[in-house]
Amino acid sequence: MRILIKNGHVIDPANGIDEVTDIFVENGIISEVGTDPDLEGIDMEIIDAEGMCVAPGLVDMHVHLREPGQEYKEDIESGTMAAVFGGVTSVACMPNTEPVADNEAIVRFIKTKADECGYANVFPIGAISKGLEGKYLAEMGEMAFAGAVGVSDDGRPVENSGLMRRAIEYAGMFDLIVISHCEDPALGEGDMNEGAVATSMGLRGISPAAEEVMAARDILVAEAIGGRVHIAHISTRGTVELIRRAKERGVKVTCETCPHYFSLTEEACIGFNTNAKMNPPLRTADDVAAIKEGLRDGTIDCIVTDHAPHHPDEKNCEFSAAKNGIVGLETSLGLGIKNLVNEGVLTMGQLIEKMSLNPSRILGISRGTLGTGKCADIVIFDPSKKWTVDINKLHSKGKNSPYDGFELYGKPEYVIVGGDIVINRGELMK
């Protein structure tokens, strides 16, 4: 398919483009960027993007697709469908499946299934330890050769510091990023953020130190051996400060946060709203301010969703028994525009950098750019167009979102994956 995208405001941080221009796509590749390309006599699809932003497809490096083993919550087909409706053209899926993605066979299964029925690109994350048990390293080399782009025991911390050191060393041999779920289990036993709101609701509180203690450890371990580590879903002022100071020292640490940590506080849990229950938990207004400042000054590299779909029965229960996590693939761009761009925290270019370019660079995948010769993964959206979240219309199997009824901005109008138009005027094409 040949596609000409005309008159759009092209935002490509990788190449310093932030202007109205055209993009020509041919055979799945971006063939030309610039106004008035010589295309006379060429049969092509024309998209008039006047008034809209044209950006690299979003790259979400922290997603739970649940397949294999938990397809009642989500599967690769439904998860990637939700992704493209949110403008996300590439996802990195976490290994806490059943069985765990801790070996070559499961990684290859995920890749094959994504090729068969996926709407977006899928990049598997393998486990750090066998069975996520934190005892023995998984076969990282075999998983890397099968297509894994990183390793994580996400959902569980690696409690053994020696094992984390060996993981960072071993993963580095295969250029795999180690993604750390920072949580001290002894400090993390609870239902929501520790403080007055939890006390008023009679719920057990989770100390911010549960996250900060393990983040500090992993930073020090990486610093000691000169290795790379990526801190997942940070939520507290203390963690932001730890990473900021580590970067100043030259530690090879990167990090991510999620839209819920810059758009909601612990007060979303009032009324025992289980759709606001997650791990790490929603924090205070001061923590939200710190997350925004970390995004503004570059301490926080990426915005991810930690998309965690659950069956309604796993949320429709008492708060303490409810599963942690929310769905986020279809709301992340809108929340970023509303809470960061519209509030002057980030420019649109900086938002795209954190939602597309930086995750691609950290994972080492060739995405996140509109450069000539690169894969044509593109999202086109009107940043001023308002839309209202309706959880019953989400394309994920999971409807566990705290944003039902929220007014957001910038719902994708067109999404192109590998040169194919997957979303056309807001509708699914294949």
Alpha helix ranges (H) inside 253-379: 259-263, 285-297, 312-315, 332-336, 348-352, 358-363
Rounded to the nearest 10 degrees, the angle between the axes of helix 209-225 and helix 161-173 is: 50
* CA dihedral angle for residue 30, residue 254, residue 120, residue 65, rounded to 10 degrees: 180
Q: Which residues on adjacent β-strands are paired with residue 2?
A: 26
DSSP state letter for 391: G
Contact 103, 142 (CB under 8 A): yes
The C-alpha angle 35, 37, 43, rounded to 5 degrees, equals: 130
Cis peptide, bond prior to residue 99, ω within 30 of zero = yes
What is the DSSP secondary-structure string of 209-236?
Answer: HHHHHHHHHHHHHHHHHT--EEE-S--S
Task: Tell me the CA distances in angstroms from 259 to 54, 78, 318, one per residue in order.
Answer: 21, 21, 25
Alpha helix ranges (H) inside 298-395: 312-315, 332-336, 348-352, 358-363
Positive/negative CA dihedral, 104, 107, 113, 119: negative
Rounded CA gap, 128 and 163, in Å? 9
Among the listed residues 184, 218, 306, 377, the single catalytic one is: 306
Catalytic residue list contains 12:
no
Q: Is 424 helix (H, G, I), strand (E, B) or coil?
A: strand
Residues tagged active-site: 306
